[in-house]
Chains A and B, each alone.
Chain A
Amino acid sequence: QKEVEQNSGPLSVPEGAIASLNCTYSDRGSQSFFWYRQYSGKSPELIMSIYSNGDKEDGRFTAQLNKASQYVSLLIRDSQPSDSATYLCAGTLDNQGGKLIFGQGTELSVKP
């Protein structure tokens, strides 16, 4: 079992809809979680970080963490074509120096 797993997609949503991206992790020692957006041919760009159970909102983005279920999600409201990218979920383990363990990414396509 991979340490961080994501549905590879592609996930296709119409413009203006809510896109829901999901991630599960296997190690209960995982402490912090991050969502990165990666456009084709570019490097990952940090869009959200979440450290405790519950929801964290930033503009159109909401990250949700449920440590009991070992589940992390990212909701994108009012999706725009410019949101079309691969979204990478990553976690860190306590006492591991902050190294990120990434999922394989979910490709999101927002159709006008």
Chain B
Amino acid sequence: DTGVSQDPRHKITKRGQNVTFRCDPISEHNRLYWYRQTLGQGPEFLTYFQNEAQLEKSRLLSDRFSAERPKGSFSTLEIQRTEQGDSAMYLCASSLSPRGDAFFGQGTRLTVV
């Protein structure tokens, strides 16, 4: 399977715990994006990388959120001190160029209890 891969698919965590999600993009894609989607809404942009450089972070991304893409390959999204409002589907997408088609992974569904 050469699509975008995300891990884990589901995560249930207690409020206050830290969680980390991983995304493996399509291998030749140098752009990687993170989005968050809540029920009944379209995905909202969080941040994106071109190779290993994080080029933009949304105002939605509080200080508790951090993302990395070491060596321009896979990316991780960490949420510290989770809150119930963090419960959502976290989606990763990758593309070859700014105008190129972006393809999404299966998503990680986070539930904070």
Contact = CB atoms under 8 A, between A and B. Distances in A.
A99 B103 contact: no
Interface in B29-45: 31, 33, 35, 40-45
Nearest to B99: A32
A104 interface: yes
Interface in A92-107: 92, 96-105
Interface residues of B, number: 28
Interface residues of A, number: 26
A104 B107 contact: no
Contacts of B98: 92, 96-98
B87 interface: no
Interface stretch (B13-21, B48-56, B61-69, B72-80): B48-56
A34 B98 CA distance: 13
A105 B48 contact: no
7 contacts: A43-B106, A43-B107, A46-B104, A90-B42, A92-B99, A98-B98, A102-B44
Interface of A: 4, 8, 31-32, 34, 36, 42-46, 49, 51, 88, 90, 92, 96-105
